[in-house]
Amino acid sequence: MKQHRVYTEAELHYLKMLSRMYPTVQAAGTEIINLKAILNLPKGCEHFISDVHGEYEAFIHILNSCSGAVRRRLDQLFSDSLTRTEREQLATLIYYPQEKMELLKPSIEDLDEWYRITLHRLIALARLVSERYTRSKVRKALPAGFDYILEELLYTHGEEIDKRDYFENIITTIIEIGQAPEFITAVCSLIKWAEVDHLHLVGDIFDRGPRADIIMASLLAHHSVDVQWGNHDILWMGAASGSRTLVATVLSNSIHYTNLDVVETGYGISLRPLSVFANEVYKHCDGAAPQIFDLSRGSLAFGQTNFAEGKVALSPASP
């Protein structure tokens, strides 16, 4: 005879909450089966990056290339069928699809055939990198607009006799209606999503480099990311909160590293009032001019600071 388990008040509280999500035995059983199956899938790749310091171009390239993981996948899949140069071109296409297609188009004789071959290769790669995830998770990540067609291509193999014509007709129609460039961009986006499941940014987004604001915008658009703030980031947060000391420190650092673009262009803060103030208050003060050692002449030169542009111009050094 089956014994009935007696639940504690705390257990009943959580069971009642779960019953709202899974109101029937079948619903709960389905979820248990799904979760147990997921435990046997390979773990998604976690990407760790630190100390980017406003270097947005390098940061975006690291994101697009997944720190070389995309290239390794291409070598794994196409090492026997494509030359190294062809794999490099395909990798660059995945990193920067729109820019690369614009560069390649003038040199391609049969553009439709190039689209066909490229789509076959990209779909094969997308199928490889997404196989570690459940179909449900991949479906949620598919780029809007092409989600249904892309799902069909991912899970329909052109090698299957019964589905070969179906698969090829989808590719042909994409090309015929002029949607190949957009579809290639969508597949490249899916590949980069699947290669890195989660991004960890470990400190120091701001200072030194030119455009930390672009890095922040990229992080906001990322599908899965967490950030461990560094001391430079806390400094900018304090400045944004209104601390006069930290505002002065942020401006001093930006002038020192000649990257006032992040203040004026990135965040739209005009520095003209600061420039006017500095030129009026310090125009007769020689002590405010930085002393710079002129390596070419082996002597000290006195510079003139342009606070508006974050530049230091050398005046002739004394002999």
Q: What is the pLDDT of residues 222-237, one digit of tens each?
A: 999 999 999 999 999 9
* 137 is a domain residue: no
Rounded to whole angstroms, the Cα distance separating 84 from 94 reads 15
Average pLDDT over residues 14-20: 88
Structure confidence at residue 296 (pLDDT): 55
**Which DSSP state fits 314?**
E
158 pLDDT higher than 70: no
Structure confidence at residue 93 (pLDDT): 96
Q: What SS3 class is residue 287?
A: helix
Phi-psi map region of 203: left, alpha, beta (phi>0 left; psi -120 to 50 alpha): left
Helical ranges in 110-227 per DSSP H: 111-129, 135-141, 147-155, 164-176, 180-195, 212-221
Structure confidence at residue 318 (pLDDT): 42
Structure confidence at residue 195 (pLDDT): 94
2 pLDDT higher than 80: no
Average pLDDT over residues 279-306: 57
Rounded to whole angstroms, the Cα distance separating 62 from 56 reads 10
Rounded to whole angstroms, the Cα distance separating 148 from 158 reads 17
Average pLDDT over residues 51-58: 94
Would strands 299-306 and 311-314 be described as parallel, antiparallel, or unpaired? antiparallel
Structure confidence at residue 299 (pLDDT): 46
Which residue type does 317 have? A
Structure confidence at residue 144 (pLDDT): 86
* 279 is a domain residue: yes
- Per the structure, the complete domain to which residue 289 belongs is given by 273-319
Average pLDDT, the chain: 86
**pLDDT band at residue 303, thresholds of 50, 70 and 90?**
very low
* 64 is a domain residue: no
Average pLDDT over residues 48-58: 94
Tell me which of 80 and 319 has the higher pLDDT. Answer: 80
55 pLDDT higher than 90: yes
pTM for the model stands at 0.76
Burial letters 17-36, b for 16+ CB under 10 A, else e: eeeeeeeeeeeeeeeeeeee
Given a contact cutoff of 8 angstroms between Cβ atoms, the answer to whether 294 and 258 are in contact is no
Structure confidence at residue 10 (pLDDT): 87
What is the tens place of the pLDDT at every residue in 238-265? 999 999 999 999 998 988 888 888 899 9
Rounded to whole angstroms, the Cα distance separating 114 from 118 reads 6
Rounded to whole angstroms, the Cα distance separating 242 from 220 reads 23
What is the tens place of the pLDDT at every residue in 115-149? 999 999 999 999 999 988 988 899 999 988 899 99
184 pLDDT higher than 60: yes
Q: What is the token pair recorded at 123?
A: 């779909």
Structure confidence at residue 286 (pLDDT): 63
* 85 is a domain residue: no
Rounded to whole angstroms, the Cα distance separating 82 from 117 reads 12
* 287 is a domain residue: yes
Q: What is the percent of the chain with per-residue pLDDT over 90, rounded to a whole number?
A: 54
* 285 is a domain residue: yes
* 162 is a domain residue: no
Identify the helix (H) or strand (E) that includes residue 202: strand 198-202
**pLDDT band at residue 160, thresholds of 50, 70 and 90?**
low
* 124 is a domain residue: no
Which backbone phi and psi does 3 adopt, to 5 degrees?
-90, 140
Structure confidence at residue 300 (pLDDT): 42
When divided into structural domains, the chain yields a total of: 2
Torsion of CA 143, 148, 150, 152, to 10 degrees: 160
Q: What is the percent of the chain with per-residue pLDDT over 70, rounded to a whole number?
A: 87
